Homo-oligomer: A and B are copies of this chain.
Amino acid sequence: MVSVDVIVLRFDPEARAVLVGVAPRAQEPFAGELALPGVLLGRGERLRDATTRAVTGKLGLTEESVTATGQLATFDEPSRDPRGPTLSIALWATVTRATGDLAVWTRLDAVPPLAFDHDRIVADSRPLLADKLWRDVPFTAGLLGPEFTTAQALDVTESLTGDRPYPANLGRTMDRVPGLGRTSEHAAALPKGGRPPLVWKWSSEVVRA
């Protein structure tokens, strides 16, 4: 018995934070409690397919809203599922907002208690996710989307690593990310005033338009 449990991440520009998608469980065990979206891996099924199946089935998102996926680690505690010993392969998925969204979105830095050993999965995975930012291009592009502002990049970095870098330093980091470049465009003016932030874009090889 192998289950696939997914840490679904989305950047919310309004909340200025990275959110994790969880959902109340429909069945026992832990019925009604919040849990990471997970499915049992089918025979011969690819991990990538099981990941989108979990995201669409348990969170109600569409297949197109999944922008990137990847592996995290495997959890093998035999007592992690009260129904019997199961292996859990933890994966990440980055998604965009979609219609039919049934998920409960919680800030990555304040995930509520979850069913099974999902608290542990989230806790163990956080440093792995923080490490991917600006290093793993599909992850970073999936999370931030095809274009974004410096201010949003700061928010995402703060959500994942726990502290906010200086803008000048983050700019240097981003200049070294392959496929990412500054544009001369400025984003729309802010509601409360202030200088409009610069827009960054991925080259066409990295993200499909």
Contact = CB atoms under 8 A, between A and B. Distances in A.
Interface of A: 2, 41, 43-47, 71, 73-74, 76, 78, 84-85, 87, 89
Report how many copies the assembly holds: 2
Given A71-B74, A74-B74, A85 B2 contact: no
Nearest to A73: B71
12 contacts: A2-B2, A2-B87, A41-B87, A43-B85, A44-B78, A44-B85, A46-B78, A47-B74, A71-B73, A71-B74, A74-B74, A74-B89
Contact of A76 (B47, B73, B76): B47
A127 to B, nearest CB: 13
Contacts of A89: 74
A73 B72 CA distance: 8
Nearest to A41: B87
A74 to B, nearest CB: 6
A170 to B, nearest CB: 24
Nearest to A76: B47
A128 B44 CA distance: 26
